[in-house]
Structure 1
Amino acid sequence: MKIIDLKSGAEIAVPRSSLACAIGNFDGVHTGHRRLIEAAVDYCRDHSDTRCAVFTFESNTSGAPFIVSHEEKLKIFAECGAEIAVTVPFDEVRDMSCEVFVSEVLIGKLNVACAFCGFNFRFGKMGAGNGETLAALMKSHGRSTVILPPVNLGGEPVSSTRIRAALAEGDMALANSLLGRNFGFVSEVLHGKALGATLGFPTANQRIAHGAAAPRHGVYASLCIIDGKKYPAVSNIGVRPSTDSHGEVNCETNIIGFSGDLYGREIAVYPLAFIRPERRFSSAAELTAEVMGNRTQAEEILKKMGISF
């Protein structure tokens, strides 16, 4: 997938082919977002002279905790079939009028033939424009627009706000249904205090990025993937109240059935079911007994979910 960076000062080559372009923030790239991108992909199948693009921002425009990183967002775009990702710092278009955004950016820089947006799309200075505004402006330039209706789950539209709320409740089943995939952490394993190894249950430690959305703090039955192989696991997400109080949010995962050095390697951890809240233990023996019990619980939960290893 080609990436076009519209950052000020960057050299832009106007695409030779016209674009079918899905536009939005795409935080989480949830099932509604995927439907939007898929509509642009379908358009390109019927219009062989167009290429599928996704226009998004380098930062979360809402200021809320981000569900996926910008880099992960781009990877998912490619998986959805996008040929081009167009990125821009939000600050550089925040104060543009709707007319300027359409004429100078979508048409002047990107040669967009058909724009795709969601039912609740807003753009322009102070969010002055919506999907109908976009359609009218595109039509004035001889271009077209598709406004997609909401994708509903449980009688309500799928949204990034609902996903963040589900994560905050530790409701991973709902969060994953809204996303259309498992929420998780794909990152490098960092050195910790090695307390788990000392007590007989080594953990893989991942730092949760500042500003990222995280599930409710506590212990989870998790799925861990290392070099393509799946392992059952139990993860603690939070600030480690029994061992330190620095306040950094981490994901510490005890991987069942794995032994080896993971430091510096990238692994994927998907917390699938909440077991208990995070809490402080009065002794190492009490902590060890609790972790061993949580391991058993995690294996039972994953088995009931039909996950085989």
Structure 2
Amino acid sequence: MKVINLSYPFKKELTAGKVVLALGFFDGVHIGHQKLIKEARIIAVEKDLPLMVLTFDRHPKEVYAGVKDFEYLNPPEEKAYEMSKIGVDYLVILKFTPEFSHLAPQAFVDEIIMGLKADTVVAGFDYSYGPKDVANMENLPSFAKGRFDIKVVPKQIFAGEKIGSAEIRQAVKSGNLRLATELLGHPYLTSGKVVHGFRNGHKLGFPTANLELAWPKVLPKIGVYATMTQVGDSWYQSMTSVGYNVTFNDEKKIYIESNIFDFDQDIYGQQITIAWYKYLRGEEKFADMAALSEQLKLDQVASKNYFSSLIE
């Protein structure tokens, strides 16, 4: 898969010929998104054309609605990884700038869709490319003027509810990782760089990898979780805390600390990925380090028991 970072306006041709173009922001690349892209893939195979996905570098709400600190399910590099697994040939990441946000619906079709050489456009029923009362999928044929085919994917339902990024964000924030996993099609992931922390875990016999995020990600609610942690190409069982380190300090900063089982490598400065599986308990303030150490032993047993239950 080729990833193309693009700015508006653009003049260069990205492909030699026409493409099947899937439209959407695709935060999380959840099972509803996967369904849409797979349908686009079927059309691409039938027409012997490459499949292109158009998304944006940041959520449009950050620009046109002024939403600050928008929390994402996945940053662009994670989104690209998920797209590469489902048969996308070109992932175009267009910068969503204030200038671009004022683009008229007809101009979006003429300059963006046609500029990307769309033979067929595939999008969800609620996709919009401007004011929703005008720039919607129902009106797209009038803007298209017969220049490309259109495939509208209906609302995707799971357990009677709409499959959407907003629903997954809420599931993650509430600690409902089972629902998040079902809607994503895989455990929720958080990637980042390992940085130096307070080293309190080392003193307790439970050294932790402290994660620094480069992107505003949705985090599970405060507490301790059974997780898997990827270092390099290998996955390890682990338990991970999301919290304020209340036993040791009164800071308002949230820390992500993963204790990786049966692991003793120096990984400072490396990128790791945490897969969230099960909420174990909330954050507690302990009287002393001995009490915290005893609780961490119980957390480790609970985490290992959870993963053992998956194998049985």
Same fold? TM cut 0.5: yes
Is 161-170 or 87-96 further displaced after alignment?
Answer: 87-96
Alignment correspondent of 2:5: 5
Is 148-157 or 243-252 further displaced after alignment?
Answer: 243-252
| Alignment of structure 1 residues 163-178 onto 2, 5 Å | 163-178=168-183
Provide Cα deviations, 1:176-223, integer angstroms capped at 9, x if missing partner. Answer: 111111112222211111110111110111124453111111000111
User: What SS does structure 1 have at the residue aligned with 2:88?
Assistant: coil
Alignment correspondent of 1:180: 185
Alignment correspondent of 1:24: 24
Q: Distance in 1 between matches of 2:254 and 2:133?
A: 33
> How far did residue 46 of structure 1 move?
0.5
Alignment correspondent of 1:304: 309
Is 112-121 or 182-191 further displaced after alignment?
Answer: 182-191
Is 155-164 or 82-91 further displaced after alignment?
Answer: 82-91
User: What SS does structure 2 have at the residue aligned with 1:55?
Assistant: strand
Q: Detail structure 1 runs of 4+ shifted over 4 Å in the superposition.
A: none
> How far did residue 9 of structure 1 move?
6.3
Q: Does 1:235 align with 2:207?
A: no
Over aligned residue pairs, what C-alpha RMSD do you find? Answer: 1.8
Q: Distance in 1 between matches of 2:133 and 2:294?
A: 54
Q: Distance in 2 between matches of 1:214 and 1:98?
A: 35
Q: Distance in 2 between matches of 1:12 and 1:227?
A: 37
8 Å Cα contact 1:223-1:231 kept in structure 2 = yes
> How far did residue 87 of structure 1 move?
1.7
In the superposition, the TM-score normalised over structure 2's length comes to 0.91
Q: Distance in 1 between matches of 2:247 and 2:112?
A: 52
Alignment correspondent of 1:102: 109
Q: Does 1:59 align with 2:65?
A: no
Is 12-21 or 64-73 further displaced after alignment?
Answer: 12-21
Q: Does 1:131 align with 2:170?
A: no
Q: 1:78 to 1:123 in 2, by over 3 A?
A: same
Is 295-304 or 181-190 further displaced after alignment?
Answer: 181-190
User: What SS does structure 1 have at the residue aligned with 2:82?
Assistant: helix
Q: Distance in 1 between matches of 2:90 and 2:52?
A: 4
Is 174-183 or 204-213 further displaced after alignment?
Answer: 204-213
> How far did residue 75 of structure 1 move?
1.9
Q: Distance in 2 between matches of 1:165 and 1:209?
A: 21
Q: 1:22 to 1:142 in 2, by over 3 A?
A: same
User: Which residue identity does 2:291 align to in structure 1?
Assistant: E
Q: 1:36 to 1:135 in 2, by over 3 A?
A: farther
Q: Distance in 1 between matches of 2:154 and 2:279?
A: 33
> How far did residue 73 of structure 1 move?
0.9
Is 9-18 or 209-218 further displaced after alignment?
Answer: 9-18
Q: Distance in 2 between matches of 1:199 and 1:280?
A: 15
Q: Distance in 2 between matches of 1:270 and 1:34?
A: 19
Alignment correspondent of 1:256: 261
> How far did residue 82 of structure 1 move?
1.0
User: Which residue identity does 2:83 align to in structure 1?
Assistant: F
Q: Does 1:281 align with 2:286?
A: yes
8 Å Cα contact 2:75-2:215 kept in structure 1 = no
> How far did residue 232 of structure 1 move?
1.7
Alignment correspondent of 2:75: 69
8 Å Cα contact 1:98-1:123 kept in structure 2 = yes
Q: Distance in 1 between matches of 2:151 and 2:123?
A: 6
Is 204-213 or 17-26 further displaced after alignment?
Answer: 204-213
User: What SS does structure 1 have at the residue aligned with 2:202?
Assistant: helix
In structure 1, runs of 5+ residues without a counterpart are none
8 Å Cα contact 1:208-1:249 kept in structure 2 = no
> How far did residue 125 of structure 1 move?
4.1
> How far did residue 111 of structure 1 move?
0.9
**Count of matched residue pairs:** 304
In the superposition, the TM-score normalised over structure 1's length comes to 0.92
> How far did residue 97 of structure 1 move?
1.5
Provide Cα deviations, 1:137-189, integer angstroms capped at 9, x if missing partner. Answer: 22x14311100012211111110011011011101010011111111222221
Alignment correspondent of 1:193: 198
| Alignment of structure 1 residues 184-223 onto 2, 5 Å | 184-209=189-214, 211-223=216-228
User: Which residue identity does 1:59 align to in structure 2?
Assistant: R
> How far did residue 39 of structure 1 move?
1.4
Q: Distance in 2 between matches of 1:159 and 1:142?
A: 30
Q: Distance in 1 between matches of 2:209 and 2:72?
A: 23
User: Which residue identity does 2:236 align to in structure 1?
Assistant: Y
Q: Distance in 1 between matches of 2:15 and 2:134?
A: 28
Q: Percent identity?
A: 27
In structure 2, runs of 5+ residues without a counterpart are 62-66
